[in-house]
A and B are shown apart, each in its own frame.
Chain A
């Protein structure tokens, strides 16, 4: 320390140095807090379960039971392939893979004949998934349907058999 510096403060420090140190401490504090926040925020969001609770490989919630009308068929996503949820005119739920066993087109529900129809080459399946007409060589893969939850607000759960 040289002679022409200012008077010494407590602990052998100078006022400018104290200012610099306090500024530095502030900078450090801000840095720590901001990095801590930039870790804490993603961590917090990560821990909250996502909208779809689990990967839909083996089971998928197709919707609420009330959303499916009698005598209808709805396509839902099951893993990476489409599935079709059929509700017969008596209200019974059935579900099949919507991938036609002929050339992989997506089948649809045909209300007038109560069959599952593939538009590509006119393949027809009955509501048990059996291939009844046209090119499909095998029946549609059948899935299990269960209703889960409060009566009146059940979830329709489709599971790979």
Chain B
């Protein structure tokens, strides 16, 4: 039946080029080829988020007076609402985790080298977009933890030199975190970021399809030396493998929703005292912990501002990494990248754990 459908479309749209491309497409197989699937899993989780997000949209209300109640309604009154909400909350975390796995694997395997610099750049931008999704979405249930975490987070944005105050007011929709912040974050979460993500993700996928999978430098050297690198056809081998990993991700999500259901907590009260041990979600925790540890003033400048500047600089370096490690394109990648990568990984793991223990 699919054949009939395809030929019907082919008659009208001439799918021959597409069919040729798909049937010829192959993926290299080597010691590190398992990392190829990380991006696909991340993409799948994005799909899960969009799907469950749209479902939640049907019942959620983005106003301070009704947000918490509407989430409670979804979780307790709507059939399987608890499932959709749990999957959405867990998938968000899993997505960002996989995005980091994907980032580090492409970093260590030097996939960013010429000619794939733009793929890397769009990828890093996507990571920022995902973290934006996480930050904006976290506030939407309008519960106590989210309210104060947002207060702290947007407060840190205010520490950016120069534009800090403007940024804070822009994010909060005012001077304080209020219902205005909620509405604004909602707009960002369901419209602004999805549109941005679609554009950047489109480019990211386009580049990958255009250029095919990158191989690690060691494999490239073997290729240049004349060795034939084994390949598997994209359809059906790689696709099935991809789908299998997606199902593994689904299994993990189902298990998490089963054993660690997401709590709703108490409704946000702007005039209540900040609960002790308030902290952001884990993917911001390492940065938060460092900012907490910085002294109030360093060489006369505000400690927090220097911290924010430092992280901004790190983000910039990450973004333009392909252009800093130009030697990688000629097989002379700087070992500094590996060192920096390991250091960053260790820092993130250690400080995230530290952040949890310190609370």
Q: Which residues of A contact B (CB under 8 A)?
A: 35, 42-43, 45-48, 50, 52, 54-55, 57-58, 79
Contacts and interface: CB of A to CB of B under 8 A. Distances in A.
Main secondary structure of the interface of B (DSSP, over half): helix
B69 A55 contact: yes
Contacts of B346: none
B73 interface: yes
Main secondary structure of the interface of A (DSSP, over half): loop
A47 B55 CA distance: 8
A59 to B, nearest CB: 11
A159 to B, nearest CB: 13
28 contacts: A35-B247, A42-B80, A42-B83, A42-B84, A43-B55, A45-B80, A46-B55, A46-B78, A46-B79, A46-B80, A46-B84, A47-B55, A47-B58, A48-B79, A50-B79, A52-B77, A54-B70, A54-B73, A55-B61, A55-B69, A55-B70, A55-B73, A55-B77, A57-B66, A57-B69, A58-B65, A58-B66, A79-B69
Contacts, number: 39
B254 to A, nearest CB: 9
A142 to B, nearest CB: 19
B116 interface: no
Nearest to B72: A55
B322 interface: no
Contacts of B61: 55
Contacts of A50: 77-79
A47 to B, nearest CB: 7
Interface string B46-76: 0000000001001001000110011011000
B280 interface: no
B81 interface: yes
Q: A35, A46, A54, A58: which has the most chain B beta carbons within 10 Å?
A: A46
Contacts of B77: 50, 52, 55
A42 B81 CA distance: 9
Interface in B148-196: none
Given A50-B78, A55-B70, A55-B77, 15 more contacts: A42-B79, A42-B80, A42-B83, A43-B80, A46-B80, A46-B81, A46-B83, A47-B58, A48-B79, A52-B77, A55-B66, A55-B69, A57-B65, A57-B69, A58-B66
Contacts of A79: 69
A47 B56 CA distance: 10
A22 to B, nearest CB: 16
A52 B80 CA distance: 15
Contacts of A58: 65-66
Contacts of A43: 55, 80
Contacts of B69: 55, 57, 79
Q: Which 6 A-B pairs have the closest CB atoms?
A: A42-B80, A55-B73, A45-B79, A55-B69, A57-B69, A46-B80
A143 B84 CA distance: 35
Interface string B228-252: 0000000000000000000100100
Nearest to B79: A45
A43 B56 CA distance: 11
A17 B83 CA distance: 41
Q: B66, B69, B250: which has the most chain A beta carbons within 10 Å?
A: B69
